[in-house]
Structure 1
Amino acid sequence: MHELSIALGIVDIAEKETKKAKKKKVELIELEIGTLAGIEFDSLDFIWPSAVKNTVLEGAERRINIIEALAKCGDCNHTFKIKNVYDSCPKCNSYLKSILKGKELLIKSLEVS
């Protein structure tokens, strides 16, 4: 379950940024996570309370913006949504593509007090 290490990494960043801002706690954390980031959202939800206990994130509101994956075909230049990295172009069936978005795993914002 790598979601634990991801959650602990988020806690570490939040702790550092809160300290840098000379504040004590986080009121809101906003995350952007792509559908191809390899995150199991149910696992992240399950582990979150344990990971943030006794940290600046304990009690903080958490918002997750899910970024849908988008690719561009390398053969026909068609842009299309994908669910898996191995999906083919729906227009020409080529597997040659560039992933434009969907791999994000970002802390978009922190509201601290």
Structure 2
Amino acid sequence: MHELSIATSIVKIAEDETLKVNASDVTKIELEIGALSGIEIDALKFVWSSAVKDSVLEKAVLEIVKIKGMAICENCNTEFELENIYDVCIKCNSNFKNITQGKGMKIKRLEVI
């Protein structure tokens, strides 16, 4: 389950950022997780409390925004939504596409005190 290592990496980043601004705790953390990122949101939520225990994130509200996958077809230039990385173009059924969003994960916002 790589979600635990992702959660511990988020804790490390949050601790580093709170040190930079001399904050003691995080009250809210907002994550953007792409639909194509390979991160199982339910699994991340499941391990979250264990990963943040005794950290600056222990009392923080976790907010997750799911970013849909989007691509542009290389053959017909159609922009379309992807549910899976292997989806084909909705117009011409081509497999050749440039994925434009939804592959990553980022910490969008930390609210600190």
Q: Number of paired residues?
A: 113
Q: Which amino acid aligns with 1:81?
A: E
1:5 is matched with: 5
1:63 aligns with 2:63: yes
**Letter in structure 2 aligned against 1:10:** I
User: Alignment partner of 2:72: what SS?
Assistant: strand
Question: What's the TM-score once normalised by structure 2's chain length?
Answer: 0.98
Aligned-partner residue type, residue 93 of structure 2: N
Identity %: 55
Match of 1:39? Answer: 39
Q: Which stretches of structure 1, 4 residues or more, deviate above 2 A after TM superposition?
A: none
1:28-87 deviation line (CA, Å, top 9, x unaligned): 101110000101111101100000000000010111111000000000000000111111
Shift, 1:104, TM fit: 2.0
Tell me, what secondary structure is at the counterpart of 2:95? coil
Q: Does 1:26 align with 2:32?
A: no
Aligned to 1:88: 88
Match of 2:54 in 1: 54
The AA in structure 2 aligned to 1:82 is L
1:106 to 2:106 alignment: yes
The amino acid across from 2:87 in the alignment is D
Q: TM-score, normalised by structure 1?
A: 0.98
Distance 2:42 2:110 in 1: 22
**1:88 Cα deviation from its structure 2 partner:** 0.6
Q: Within 2, Cα distance between the matches of 1:2 and 1:104?
A: 15
Amino acid at match of 1:43: A
Unaligned residue ranges in structure 2 (runs of 5+): none
| RMSD (Å) for aligned C-alpha atoms | 0.5
Alpha-carbon separation, structure 1, partners of 2:3 and 2:25: 22
